[in-house]
Homo-oligomer: A and B are copies of this chain.
Amino acid sequence: MLGLMQDWPLTVDRILDHAKINFPRREAVTRSVEGPISRTTYGTVWRRAKQVTNALIERGIRPGDRVATLAWNTERHLEAWFGTMGMGAVLHTVNPRLFPEQIAWIINHAEDQVLFFDTTFAPIVDKIAPHLKTVKTFVAMTDRDHVPKSEVTHFVAYEDFIHGHAQEATWGGFDENTAAGLCYTSGTTGEPKGVLYSHRSNVLHAMAANQADVFGCGASDVVLPVVPMFHANAWAIAFVAPMCGSKLVMPGAKLDGASIYELLETEKVTFTAAVPTVWLMLLNHMREHNLKLSTLKRVAIGGSAVPEAVLRAFEEDYGVEVIHAWGMTEMSPIGSIGKLLPEHHAMDHESRIRAKLKQGRALFTVDMKIVDDEGAPKPHDGKAFGRLLVRGPAVARAYFKNAGARNDKGECLEPDGFFDTGDVATIDELGVMQITDRAKDVIKSGGEWISSIDIENIAVGAEGVANAAVIGVAHPKWDERPLLIVEPKPGAEPTREQLLAFIDGKIAKWWMPDDVVLVEKIPLGATGKINKLALREMFKDYKLPSAQAAE
C-alpha cells in the first residue's frame, strides 16, 4: 500500500525558489574577479538565473546537455549554477587547478557545449580552445568592458549573454533522479572519472549537511564558502545557504589570508569552510598582524585531515569551533562530521582535542562500515582498522560513461552495494571514524594490516628528520614488511639504530620497520602529499635484510 502524500520531486530549483520567496532581500556578496566587492540578493540571483536558462535555451541547450564552468565562487557562478540545473541541463564544474591538458580531456569527455569561465582563466581557455570538440559558446563571466581579448576564439561577455532575456522560465518538473551536476575526481592514477550528481542527491545531501549537528546554519548566519564551487558542490554550501536563508559571502579569486580575513570581518561572517592550507594562510596573517576574529563562530575543515596546530589555534586562541569534516567527490561530498557527542563533552580538554582530530561520525543518510579484505565487518573499538565502505542517496553508484565499472551494470560498487572509499579507517565505540591510511598504502604483513601513516607520524618526531614515509616492500615470508624512508634535515645524519630506537615502544613490535633508508628528498604529489606511488617504484627491487635472511 502506498502513502497518499504529494508528489514533490526533490529538484534543486526548489532551493532557489524557496530563497526567492522567503529571503528575497538576503544578500549574496562577492569579491568580484574584476576587483570591487559586489552585492546582490537571492531575489536578483533567481531572476538572473532565469535569464541564464533562457540564454542557454536560445543557444540550443536542451535538458541533459552539459554546460561547463571554470570559475571561482561568485554571484555569476551561482546564477549559472541554478540557471543550468534548473532547466534540467547538467552543470559541469571544472577544476581550474588541473593541467590544461586534463581540463581539455575532461571537457571533451563530458561533451560540454557551453563554457562559462572567469577572466582569470582566459589564458587556459585560449590554450585549450583549439582542442575542444564540443564547446560552441565561450562565456567570459564579466561585462563587455572586461572581456579578455582572444586570438583563438570568440568570448561572449556574460552580461551580454543574458541581456534582454526574460526573467521567468520553467524550472523543474522532471524526475528527481535527473542529472544535475558533473564533477570529475582528480584521480592520482588513471584518467579522471566523472561523478554525476542527481537533483535528488543534491537536495538530500544539502538537507543532511544542514542538520543542527552538521553545518547547522540558519537565516541569521553569514556563510563564507572558501571551498570552491568548482569542486564537489562547495561542500553543499551553494545549496545550504539559499535553502536556509543565510547571507552568502563569496571570495572570488582571492583566497590569501589578508583577503579572507577582510571578508570575515567586514561581512560579519559566522560560518566558513575550507581546506587546511587556507586556514594556515589565515592564521599566519592574523598572528603577523595581531588580529582577532570578532564574529566567526564555526569553521568547517576538510579535504585533508585537520592539523592539530590549526585545530588548537581556532579553538584555543580564537574561540572558534572547528568542525572536522570528511568526504569525497563521490559522496557529494560530505561523509562524516566531527561534531562532539555528549560523551566527549564529559571529557577533559586534551581528550576532546584528540577526538576532534578524528574525521567524525556518519551523517544521517550515510551508512559507513569498516571491513577486512573479505568484506567481513571489523569491530568499532577505535583500534581495528579496515577498508572504509559507504552507502547512501548522495553516494555515487557509477561514474559517467561507466568509467571504472566493476560489474556488468556499469557500477563502481562492491558486491554488497557499498562504495569503497579507498581509505582504511578505524571507528571507535562512539561511532567516530579516523582515516589511518589509503588502502593502497597500507602494509599487509602476514594477513594483518600495518598503517603506514601511524609510523610516519611517529618517525617525523625523531631528531634530524625532515620528512618520513613508510611503504610495504615484498617479503618472502610475510608478503610485505614496512620500510622506513627518511629525508634528513639539512646537515643531520640520523642513523638506522637511532631512528628505530625512537620508534620502539610507540607501536606494536610487529609494526616495527624492517629497515631504514635515508633519501635526499621524499617525492611529493601536486597537493603536497607524499607520492607513495613514486616511492614504491623507487624501491620496487629493494631487498630487506630480513627478506634475505628468510630466503
B-contacting residues of A (Cβ < 8 Å)? 1-8, 10, 14-15, 17-18, 21-23, 63-64, 90, 175, 177-180, 195-201, 204, 207-208, 210-213, 215-220, 243-245, 247, 332, 339-342, 345, 361-362, 364-365, 367, 391-400, 413, 417, 419, 431
Contact = CB atoms under 8 A, between A and B. Distances in A.
B217 A6 contact: no
User: Most chain-B CB neighbours within 10 Å: which of A7, A8, A395?
Assistant: A8
22 contacts: A2-B178, A3-B177, A3-B178, A4-B179, A4-B196, A6-B391, A6-B394, A6-B417, A7-B397, A8-B392, A8-B393, A17-B367, A21-B362, A21-B367, A207-B211, A212-B215, A212-B244, A213-B245, A218-B339, A220-B345, A244-B364, A245-B341
Given A208-B207, A212-B216, A179 B1 contact: yes
A7 to B, nearest CB: 7
A339 B417 CA distance: 40
Contacts of A3: 177-180, 196-201
A213 B208 contact: no
B64 A364 contact: no
Contacts of A419: 6
User: Most chain-B CB neighbours within 10 Å: which of A1, A245, A393?
Assistant: A1
A247 to B, nearest CB: 8
Contacts of A198: 2-5
A491 to B, nearest CB: 50
A401 to B, nearest CB: 10
A195 to B, nearest CB: 7
Given A211-B210, A342-B220, A200 B365 contact: no
B361 A5 contact: no
Contact of A397 (B4, B17, B342, B392): B4
A208 B245 CA distance: 14
Given A8-B395, A17-B367, A204-B207, 11 more contacts: A1-B64, A5-B200, A5-B396, A6-B417, A6-B419, A23-B431, A210-B212, A212-B215, A212-B216, A213-B218, A220-B342
Q: Give how many copies assemble into the complex.
A: 2
Contact of A364 (B7, B18, B179, B345): B18
- Interface pairs A-B: 3 shortest CB-CB: A3-B198, A213-B218, A1-B64
A201 to B, nearest CB: 4
A341 B27 CA distance: 13
A417 B178 CA distance: 22
Contacts of A6: 391-397, 413, 417, 419
A16 to B, nearest CB: 11
B207 A2 contact: no
A148 B551 CA distance: 78
B211 A341 contact: no
Contact of A393 (B10, B195, B197, B417): B10
Contact of A175 (B2, B18, B395): B2
Contacts of A391: 6, 8
A398 B6 CA distance: 8
A321 to B, nearest CB: 12
Given A10-B393, A201-B3, A431 B22 contact: yes
A4 B220 contact: no
A129 B339 CA distance: 50
Nearest to A199: B3
